[in-house]
Amino acid sequence: MTAPMALPARAETQADDPAVRERAERITRRAADGIIDQVAELGDLGLIRSTTVEVRLHRASPLFKLYILNSEEVFYGFYPVVERTVSIKGEPMAIYDLMGKDVPLFHYAVTDDDASHGTRFVEASRQWFDSVWSTIAYRYDA
Amino acid sequence: MNADLGRLLGEVDALLLDFDGPVCSIFAGYPAPQVAAELVDVLRRHGVDVPPDLASEPDPLEVLRRTGTADDQDATCAVEDALCAAERRAVKTAEPTPYGREVIVAARQAGMSVAVVSNNSAGAVSAYLEAHRPAGYVSPVVGRAYAAPDRMKPDPEPILQAVRAVRHSPNRCVLIGDSLSGIEGAQAAGVRVVGYANRPAKVEKFLAAEADLVITSMSAIAGALIERISS
């Protein structure tokens, strides 16, 4: 994530900023590492027979979150853009941030009907995911 | 001092900001002495006999103030109009104050009202806030009364106007100002006042004027507000 990003951005300049990017990278890394650790722990405890995690990153601004479970269910939520002052390396900075903690997640599920809204949304989500995964996404090393 | 600042901010519900200083340096790209000289030209075109000390006055607001005391309302209106126009041009090249935006945004996060009380014209202040996009966070914007420079700060009335608009009692409001006129106006209005000493020489002046606190960077306020949000 060393390339300029549209979001998050520094509010004053309305532009990419290395300090803001570094903060976003830290948060992304923490989230990915958390998932990796927790999945591994489930395996270590013997709660699951075997586990694997593969993480790839992309450099596009994250404007939404999308969870695809077993190719059958999708949870989708928007990340609103919010201006807020945060502390970066001890210095206050107003940034345009992406806030997704308390947004509603919309649920879609495959049904028996191929033409149903749920079936089509899950299929389109998978196609979108695969398109990013196989093109601009790059390997993440924990 | 940070503990004192945190305590003071914890006791107020509204932040009243002076504009030129705490928010931006309005004449950063269009120097104030040049604007003052243009106002003096307006006076001369109006047939006013300009004394040498007024002709060399570097502060446009001071030119307006002194014109107001001469009891020539036509001249006062002419200078006022010229100054309003100059301020509208000036905000296009105004320099944002370091951490000024951080203070406005953090105050809103902390649930505080944020208002601007300025001796500059409200039109220029609003134009700046809209161009830099924090306009939605600031209400009201109280500028100087039209062609009535005797009603500028230190007159407490513009400050009280903002206090009434944010609907908090004066002692639940704090003014952040970088001039003696702001500090005196705040004291007369009964609101708390933090002196923003953006030049070292101002520290002593503001302490002598008995500002509740004196800071040398807006980051102190932003930092204290962030602490308040996260605690």
Q: What is the pLDDT of residue B1?
A: 54
Specify the pTM. Answer: 0.91
Question: For chain B, which ranges sit under pLDDT 70?
Answer: 1
pLDDT of A20 above 60:
yes
Q: Which residues of A touch B (CB under 8 A)?
A: 11-12, 14, 83-87, 91-94
The token pair at A20 is 């803001």
Query: Nearest residue on chain A to B132, judged by CA atoms?
Result: A12
Decide if A94 and B102 are in contact by the 8 Å CB cutoff.
yes
Q: What is the pLDDT of residue B231?
A: 77
A-B contacts (CB, under 8 Å)? 39
User: Average pLDDT of A30-41?
Assistant: 96
CA distance A74 to A67: 5
The token pair at A30 is 């923490």
Task: Return the amino acid letter for A95.
Answer: I
Rounded to the nearest 5 degrees, what angle is found at the Cα of A77, between the Cα atoms of A74 and A79? 150
User: Average pLDDT of A3-23?
Assistant: 92
Q: Where are the beta strands (DSSP E) in B80-231?
A: 95-96, 113-117, 141-142, 173-177, 192-196, 213-215
**Binning pLDDT at 50, 70 and 90, where does residue A2 land?**
low
Q: What is the pLDDT of residue A114?
A: 95
Cis ω for the linkage preceding B170 (within 30 of 0) = no
CA distance A72 to A76: 13
Residue B144 main-chain phi, psi, to 5 deg: -75, 145
Decide if B105 and A94 are in contact by the 8 Å CB cutoff.
yes
B224 touches chain A (CB under 8 A): no
Q: What's the helix, strand, coil split of chain B in %, to 5?
A: 55, 15, 30
CA distances, A55 to each of A33, A45, A124 (Å): 9, 22, 21
Q: What is the pLDDT of residue A4?
A: 85
The token pair at B82 is 């010229």
User: Average pLDDT of A10-22?
Assistant: 94
The B residues from 123 to 142 touching A (CB cutoff 8 Å) are 132-134
Q: Where are the beta strands (DSSP E) in B39-186?
A: 95-96, 113-117, 141-142, 173-177
Cβ neighbours of B103 in A, within 8 Å? 85
B96 strand-pairing partners: B24
CA distance B192 to B172: 8
For A120-136, write each residue's pLDDT tens digit.
999 999 999 999 999 99
CA distance B213 to B5: 7
Complex ipTM over 0.90:
no
The alpha-helical segments, DSSP class H, found in A7-77 are 18-44
The token pair at A133 is 């995964």
pLDDT of A3 above 90:
no
Smallest CA–CA separation between A97 and chain B, in Å?
Answer: 12
CA B208 from centroid of its chain's CA atoms: 20
Of A11, A87, A91, nearest to B101 by CB-CB distance is A11
Interface mutation vs chain B, best among A10, A12, A14, A95, most B CBs within 10 Å:
A12
Reference B15, options B145, B125, B95, B102; nearest CA is B102
CA distance A9 to B194: 30
Q: Is A109 helix (H, G, I), strand (E, B) or coil?
A: strand
User: Average pLDDT of A29-53?
Assistant: 95
Interface mutation vs chain B, best among A23, A85, A91, A96, most B CBs within 10 Å:
A85
